[in-house]
Amino acid sequence: MILHELISYDVLRLIWWALLGVLLIGFALTDGFDLGAGTLLPFVARNDSERRTVINTIGPVWEGNQVWLILGGGAIFAAWPQLYAVSFSGFYLAMFAILFALILRPVAFKFRSKREDPAWRSRWDWAQFVGGFVPALIFGVAMGNVLQGVPFRIEHDMQIFYDGTFFGLLNPFALLCGLVSVTMLVMHGAAWLQLKTEGHVAERARRFGIVAALLTVVLYAVAGVVLANFVSGYAITSEIVRGGASNPLVKTAVMQSGAWFANYASENALWVVPALGLAGSMAAAICLAVRRPAAALLTGGVGIAGIIASVGVSMFPFILPSSVNPSVSLTVWDSSSSHLTLFIMLVSTVIFMPLILAYTSWVFSVLRGKVDSEAIRDGKGHAY
């Protein structure tokens, strides 16, 4: 038996669907608090010393955290090439805006301290805000558009065409999802700042975090109601071939009201996923209120994981539905790379993922404890 046949094609596809979700959640849990802290920077810090304190909570870790975004993009490219082709070309301007904001963040880290002029530093602090807020918003907007279906089509020669526009992405439901993304990452960033700082910064972060956590609960619940009543889902109407060749043109599918809740209706246990999104966010608000930042960071992370996972659970087996022609929608079963490619990638993941997790854990262990604002003001050691 050939080695890669030890795991069947359909199982490998399911594993990589789950791993894609893990990578997205990993990015939200790690780089998410960086984005949230950057968004909060102009509001929780009132003077230069306080702002330097906030910046130094994320400055040493943001590059490592952003590895999860690179891993996610690489996984999409290698495991789901058609998904990569549609999303990275159709959402080109949105992706450019995200990249611009993410590139602006390290520039702000480096250039802020080049001059002591308050106006100069303030401008770079607002650049940090842009670097946190814009990606958080657009990631959520993109998810909202995926739930509604993306206007792409695939011709019989397998050429892919995107028929939408950038401003078409900014529809009401997508913007609602964008707000959910912003509030949940601000909640996460606030918990991080309360954990890593003290005094006025920690107290302001606590208050903003409570509001953000409660807004996350409300907006996520509202998005669920809108999704159930006003957004059509998608359903496959032909026989599902789980282990066949990757060709999205061989099936038929339709838009169908309430289809995104069909999986929950067939498996009631799946309701635990969105329940974790609501319960984790509410628990984070409570933990922030009683000044338990570590617990708030943990429970908020559970809430974020539940919110992101609920999208995947709702859409399964779809990964990118087409609003132009539902039958060419990309699913777990018909848009993956080859059996051998998925197997080789899985072996690589089994080898290298534990190393990444071990290194990340070691870094956070070394950097544990609060940022010493007095040391920053006195110029002791390296500080942003």
Q: Give 304-334 pLDDT, tens digit per residue.
A: 999 999 999 999 999 999 999 999 999 999 9
pLDDT over 80 (residue 383): no
| pLDDT, tens digit (0-9, with 9 covering 90-100), for 99-118 | 999 999 889 988 988 888 88
pLDDT band with cut points at 50, 70 and 90 for residue 378: low
**C-alpha to C-alpha distances, 179 to 63, 134, 138, 216, 371, nearest whole angstrom:** 25, 11, 9, 8, 30
Secondary structure of residue 235 in the 3-state scheme = strand
pLDDT band with cut points at 50, 70 and 90 for residue 187: very high
Verdict on whether the full-model pTM lies above 0.75: yes
Helix (H), strand (E), coil (C) string for 178-216: HHHHHHHHHHHHHHHHHHHCCCHHHHHHHHHHHHHHHHH
List of residues 6+ apart from 218 with CB closer than 8 A: none
| pLDDT, tens digit (0-9, with 9 covering 90-100), for 23-66 | 999 999 998 999 999 999 999 998 888 999 999 999 888 888 88
What's the pLDDT score for residue 121?
A: 92
What's the pLDDT score for residue 11?
A: 94
Average pLDDT for the chain: 92
| Pick from 123-132, 301-310, 368-377: least confident | 368-377
pLDDT over 80 (residue 380): no
| Pick from 46-50, 222-226, 378-382: least confident | 378-382
List of residues 6+ apart from 226 with CB closer than 8 A: 173, 176
pLDDT band with cut points at 50, 70 and 90 for residue 375: low
Amino acid at 381: G
| pLDDT, tens digit (0-9, with 9 covering 90-100), for 133-180 | 999 999 999 999 999 999 999 998 888 888 888 888 899 999 999 999
- Contact present, 297 and 261 (Cβ < 8 Å): no
Taking the C-alpha atoms of residue 57 and residue 61, their distance in angstroms, rounded to an integer, is: 8
The residues spanned by each domain of the chain are 3-378
Average pLDDT over residues 360-377: 81
pLDDT over 60 (residue 381): no
Please give the span between the terminal C-alpha atoms of the chain, in angstroms, as a whole number. 57
Most confidently modeled range among 82-86, 163-167, 312-316, 366-370: 312-316
